[in-house]
Chain A
Amino acid sequence: MAVALLLLLVAIGSVLFHLYSPWWWTPIATNWSYIDQTINITFWITGFVFTAVVAFMAYCVFRFHHREGRQADYNPENKKLEWWLSVGTGVGVAAMLAPGLVVWHQFVTVPADATEIEVMGQQWQWSFRLPGKDGRLGTSDVRNINPDNPMGLNRDDPHGQDDVVVENGDLHLPIGKPVKVLLRSVDVLHDFYVPEFRAKMDMVPGMVTYFWIRPIRTGTFDVLCAELCGAAHYQMRAKVIIEEESDYHAWLDQQKTFAELSGPTAVVRATYQSGGK
Chain B
Amino acid sequence: MVDVPYDRIAGIPPAEAPDVELYHPKSWLTRYVFSQDAKVIAIQYSLTASAIGLVALVLSWLMRLQLGFPGTFSFIDANQYLQFITMHGMIMVIYLLTALFLGGFGNYLIPLMVGARDMVFPYVNMLSYWIYLLAVLVLASTFFVPGGPTGAGWTLYPPQAILSGTPGQDWGIVLMLSSLILFIIGFTMGGLNYVVTVLQARTRGMTLMRLPLTVWGIFTATVMALLAFPALFVGSVMMLLDRLLGTSFFMPSLVEMGQLSKYGGGSPLLFQHLFWFFGHPEVYIVALPAFGIVSDLISTHARKNIFGYRMMVWAIVAIGALSFVVWAHHMYVSGMYPYFGYFFATTTLIIAIPTALKVYNWVLTLWRGNIHLTPPMLFALGFIVTFVNGGLTGLFLGNVVVDVPLSDTMFVVAHFHMVMGVAPIMVVLGAIYHWYPKVTGRMLNDVLGKFHFWVTFLGAYLIFFPMHYLGLLGVPRRYFELGEAAFIPPSAHSLNEFITVVALTVGFAQMVFLFNLAWSLFEGAPSGGNPWRATTLEWQTPETPPGHGNWGKELPIVYRWAYDYSVPGAAEDFIPQNQPPTTGAVQGATP
Contacts and interface: CB of A to CB of B under 8 A. Distances in A.
B68 interface: no
B487 A73 contact: no
Given A23-B473, A198-B404, A231 B260 contact: no
Given A46-B392, A187-B255, A199-B404, A230 B165 contact: yes
Most A-side CB within 10 Å, residue of B371, B409, B454: B371
Interface residues of A, number: 98
Contacts of A224: 476, 485
A76 B305 contact: yes
Given A35-B405, A222-B485, A75 B378 contact: no
Given A64-B368, A82-B357, A97-B346, A234 B480 contact: yes
A10 B361 contact: no
Contacts, number: 324
B465 to A, nearest CB: 6
A270 interface: no
Nearest to A225: B476
A143 to B, nearest CB: 6
B469 A21 contact: yes
B253 A143 contact: yes
A226 interface: yes
A206 B350 contact: no
Given A26-B474, A85-B357, A191-B333, A35 B402 contact: yes
Contacts of B388: 49-50, 53-54
A73 B260 contact: no
Interface stretch (A98-106, A166-174, A253-261): A98-106
Contacts of B371: 60-61, 64-66
Contact of B335 (A57, A66, A76, A202): A202
Given A25-B473, A97-B399, A71 B566 contact: yes
A53 B357 contact: no
Nearest to A230: B165
Interface in B508-547: none
A233 B79 CA distance: 10
A42 interface: yes
B341 to A, nearest CB: 6
Interface in A192-224: 193, 195-196, 198-207, 209, 220-222, 224
6 contacts: A23-B470, A195-B405, A198-B404, A221-B486, A228-B82, A231-B151
Interface of B: 78-79, 82, 151-153, 157, 159-160, 163, 165-167, 252-257, 260, 265-269, 302-305, 307-311, 333-335, 338-339, 341-342, 345-346, 349-350, 352-353, 356-357, 359-361, 363-364, 366-373, 378, 381, 384-385, 388-389, 392-393, 395-396, 399-402, 404-409, 454, 458, 461, 465-466, 469-470, 472-474, 476, 478-483, 485-487, 489, 491-492, 495, 563, 565-568, 573
